[in-house]
Amino acid sequence: MTKRVDQITTTTSTGRWAGVTAADGTDLAVLSLGSGPGLVVVHGSMQSAVSQLDLAVLLSAQHTVHLMERRGRGRSGPYPMGACTQTEVGDVASVLAATGAHSAMGVSSGALLVGRAALSDPALERAVLFEPPLIVDGSIPLDFITRFDHELSQGEPAAAMVTAMLGAQMGPLFLRAVPRFALEGMCRRQLAKDAAIADAPGRVRLIDLVQALRQDFRIVTDEAGRLEEFGAVDPDSTRTLVLAGTKTRPYLRRAVDALGDVIPAVQVAQLPGTNHGATQNRDQWGKPEVVASAVLSFLAD
């Protein structure tokens, strides 16, 4: 049974944290701010609910923005054994139902979840997909995921971070010229620095984000090669906007272009001067103003 977000509420300077119960009984945390029609934001990999906080503030003048904390992070509960894409699509449905929102925006792997929700949830009337990592015709090889899983299982999270970054083409381009041993050392220091910080309620630990990459890669693997299925989005019930930065990776650009050809009546927009980190907070090199302008225009149309 879905729990209403006003049943367990903690008010902070940035908004109201509340709990939503997923279909399997897991607690999901949601940070809400603003007023107006509801918009659920579903973050991507190596992110948490507050990763899009600056964007949410910009959107909050016209919308009540609900920043969903996906499982395995901060205030939300864990992933169950055998978690799959549908597990988290169900979580998005639970948050939509609890908040009464009829719009959702997904970022990266979160965009794949919102895209799937657009196929199955009649409550979702507007869907914004920001650079979903949908693999089209083998646009990038996914064999690195096997190495990532092995390194994580062997207790080598720094090595796993580097494998994920290189395989999924994350981070600044110049890092690809840095020797692997140097990248692993950098990641090891980041993990140690984060581990030294005292735990506090709701703190999202770096190691948790690395562990959660397993689920993000499972989603990418589940969805690979399933482009044509998104042609079943009903434009009479769900309108869709697909966004990409002009400086993003080629495989992400390819996914956006392909979805633009497949989803009926879809809108596709390019965000000038931005890359895959555009939705993130300014202190993480995001450009939330550019993203907010496109999202607000779509939601107002």
Q: How far apart are CA 264 and CA 21, in angstroms?
A: 33
Share of the chain above pLDDT 90, in %: 91
pTM comes to 0.94
Share of the chain above pLDDT 70, in %: 96
Tell me the pLDDT tens digit for each residue of 123-139.
999 999 999 999 999 99
Q: For all residues of the chain together, what is the average pLDDT? A: 94
Q: How far apart are CA 80 and CA 214, in angstroms?
A: 13
Residue 256 has pLDDT above 90, yes or no: yes
Q: How far apart are CA 41 and CA 4, in angstroms?
A: 17
Strands 64-69 and 103-107: unpaired
| Amino acid 229: pLDDT | 98
Residue 285 has pLDDT above 90, yes or no: yes
Residue 1 has pLDDT above 90, yes or no: no
Helix crossing, 206-223 with 109-120: angle to 10°? 50
| Amino acid 114: pLDDT | 98
| Amino acid 176: pLDDT | 85
Residue 9 has pLDDT above 70, yes or no: no
What single-letter DSSP state applies at residue 68? E
Tell me the pLDDT tens digit for each residue of 166-219.
999 988 888 889 999 999 999 999 999 999 999 888 899 999 999 999 999 999
- Edge-first strand order for the sheet with 27-34 is 9-12, 15-21, 27-34, 64-69, 38-42, 103-107, 126-130, 239-245, 267-271
Tokens matching residue 78 = 């864990």
User: The domain 9-138+224-300 belongs to what CATH superfamily?
Assistant: Alpha/Beta hydrolase fold, catalytic domain (3.40.50.1820)
Domain ranges of the chain: 9-138+224-300, 144-220
Tell me the pLDDT tens digit for each residue of 53-105.
999 999 999 999 999 999 999 999 999 999 999 999 999 999 999 999 999 99
Q: How far apart are CA 255 and CA 132, in angstroms?
A: 7
